Amino acid sequence: MSFLNISIYLSALIGVIIIAWIRSFDIYEKETFRSMLWAFLAGGVTSVLIALGIYEFLRLFGLEDDVISNSLGSILVIGPVEEFAKLIGLVVVYALIRKQFNELTDGIIYMSCVALGFSIIENFFYANSGEGTEYLLIYRAFISTPAHISFSVIIGYAWYRYKRENKPFSTVVIALAIASLLHGVFDALAFSPWFNVLLLIYLWLILMQSLRLVQYTNVISPYRPGFGALFETSANEKAEGIECPNCGSSEPKEVFRNVFFTACRCDRCGYHIASRNTIRKIFRVFAPEYKRLSKKLVQARYSDGRTVMSVYGSAFFGNSGNLGFFRVSEVEAKLQSINEELVNRFRKRSFISANLLRRFFA
């Protein structure tokens, strides 16, 4: 089998894996894998064709690849051309599946699929551009692909607000300018072998900023349910044989079940009980920080001398077993506090100026 065929299969596989990974960030109202695949294909092909067409047009004015393949060309030409092409790809995707755009996170999710399609096709061309370039398929998959996605997510955010929230089109133009600049700086660093370490640091910063944007949209999502409300109605069944990790009671316990988790309540001490994995999922779903639960565990001591492991001082684990216990009101208050802090931190640490932030996030 020729490398051309292998690279086609490998590119497709990488694309499917990354689509599944992107989908994991869409917590409350998940997009179908099929619609994301359509966005990947239609948006990717459209954006590549648009970019190629613009580059061909620029060649009429003498702007060949060797002219723009430098720091200045990256910022003035490559970044704007490729981000504009991805915006057109998103416009096509929106026209095809506009009913799927029903929360702010969706703008980011589908823009990520378009950027992924663009990057995968671009990586394929690079890997088959000549002898000895095969390694570029893997190299660019781990460097260029996450970079392409990270540059463009703010365009998806702005596009949703323009189409669904009646924000002015200037919001999209500003987002396009920001994405183009981020893209251009990345390529400018990539063209110089002296800046490899700086390139990786820059990529990490952009990735973190993009993740914060996804977190922000999840926190304000209209589909995010109230944590306490999920405990207002029980499943009308009892859990047998569960020993409360707080008071040791083995009496049958009321069960609470929903699409996100299952927990039960100890009527002797009033604490709710759930597995370690369920408590991890509660913080992942209702305060989407995307951090490992183990990093949030600290030792705490009760007034009676017992030592437990605490998650944010609101959920606890005993020294044995895999069950944790918590009071709904305390966890709900902590989740609200985490989300407020997340929003404030995002706005303070953004690459975008304060004036633009008010325009983007008000």
Where does the pLDDT of residue 305 fall: very low under 50, low under 70, confident under 90, or very high at 90 and above?
confident
| Predicted pLDDT at 301 | 78
Highest average pLDDT, of 14-28, 35-49, 305-319, comes from 35-49
Q: Lowest mean pLDDT of 92-96, 108-112, 139-143, 179-183, name the range.
A: 139-143
CA–CA distance, 288 with 338 (Å, rounded to integer)? 9
For 277-289, how does the pLDDT look when each residue is reduced to its tens digit (9 = 90+)? 999 889 888 988 7
Q: Decide: 52 and 122 in contact? Cβ < 8 Å.
A: no
Residue 273 has pLDDT above 90, yes or no: yes
Band the pLDDT of 356: cuts 50, 70, 90: low
> What mean pLDDT, rounded, does the chain reach?
86
Contact of 89 with 155, CB cutoff 8 Å: no
Least confident window among 36-45, 237-246, 336-345: 336-345
Most confidently predicted of 37-51, 188-202, 205-219, 333-347: 37-51
Banded model confidence at residue 77, pLDDT cuts 50, 70, 90: very high
pLDDT tens digits, 27-64: 888 899 899 999 999 999 999 999 999 999 999 888 88
Among 96-105, 142-151, 191-200, the minimum mean pLDDT is found in: 191-200
Q: What percent of the chain is modeled with pLDDT above 90?
A: 46
Q: What is the largest CA-CA distance in the chain?
A: 81
**Residue 45: predicted pLDDT:** 96
Give the mean pLDDT of 5-31: 80
Residue 265: which pLDDT band, with cuts at 50, 70 and 90?
very high
**Does the pLDDT of residue 272 top 80, yes or no?**
yes
Residue 354: its pLDDT value, please?
A: 44
Q: Using the predicted structure, report yes or no on whether residue 177 has a pLDDT greater than 80.
A: yes
Q: What CA–CA distance (Å, rounded) separates 291 from 295?
A: 7
pLDDT over 50 at 73, yes or no? yes
271 to 187, 258, 325, 348: CA distances (angstroms): 54, 18, 6, 37
Pairwise pLDDT comparison (139 vs 242), residue with the higher score: 242
For the whole model, what pTM was predicted? 0.85
Q: How far is the C-alpha of 236 from the C-alpha of 100, rounded, in Å?
A: 35
What band does 229 get if pLDDT is binned at 50, 70 and 90?
very high
Task: Report pLDDT for 321.
Answer: 67
* pLDDT score of 358 more than 80: no
Domain boundaries, the chain: 3-219, 228-338
Highest mean pLDDT among 80-94, 117-131, 208-222, 266-280: 80-94
Residue 348 pLDDT: 65
Mean pLDDT of 158-177: 92
Does residue 292 contact residue 263 with C-beta atoms inside 8 Å?
no
Mean pLDDT of 95-121: 93
Sheet of 238-239: strand order equals 238-239, 253-257, 262-265, 272-275, 323-326, 315-317, 307-311, 297-301
161 contacts 106 by C-beta, under 8 angstroms: no
128 pLDDT higher than 80: no
Percentage with pLDDT > 70 across the chain:
90
Compute the average pLDDT of residues 180-184: 95
